[in-house]
Structure 1
Amino acid sequence: MEAQPSQNWNDLIDRHVEIRKNGRVVRTGRVEAVTHAADALWLEGHGSDLRSIFEKAEGYSAIPFCD
C-alpha cells in the first residue's frame, strides 16, 4: 500500500518527508518549519540542496516516511 499525503502539514515538523508534484518526487528531506495556516513548509538545506519552501497552492504534497 502506498503512503498517503499528509493533510495537516503541522504534523510534519521535524519529520522526513517526500515532496511530490503531479505524482513525481521532486525532493526529500526534513521539515524545518510550517506556516501557521499549514499551507506551506520548508525543508532544511542538506548538502547541495538549499533550504526550500513548498506550497500546497502550487500543487505540492508531502508524504512522511515511516518512522
Structure 2
Amino acid sequence: MLKTGPGWERAYEPLEFAQKHGLTLKQAETVIHTNGPSKYKCDLAAPIFLKALKDLAKNRENRSPG
C-alpha cells in the first residue's frame, strides 16, 4: 500500500489497527486504504466493515442452493 501524501505519517499501522478492532491484517489494510490516513475515519469504519462481513456471511448461509 502506498502511503504518500498528507496525513499518512500519522496513519495507523495495519497490525495495530487489526489488533484494536479484531480484524485480519488484510482486512485492516483494506479499511485503511479505503478510508485514508485518518485514524478517526478508520475507527468509525471498522465496526461498519465488520457488520458488513457478518451480514454477508449470514446471507450466504441463508441462500438456498440452486
Same fold (TM over 0.5): no
Which structure has the larger Rg? 2
Structure in which a larger fraction of residues adopt strand? 1
Determine which structure has greater relative contact order: mean sequence separation of CA pairs < 8 Å that are 6+ residues apart, divided by chain length.
1
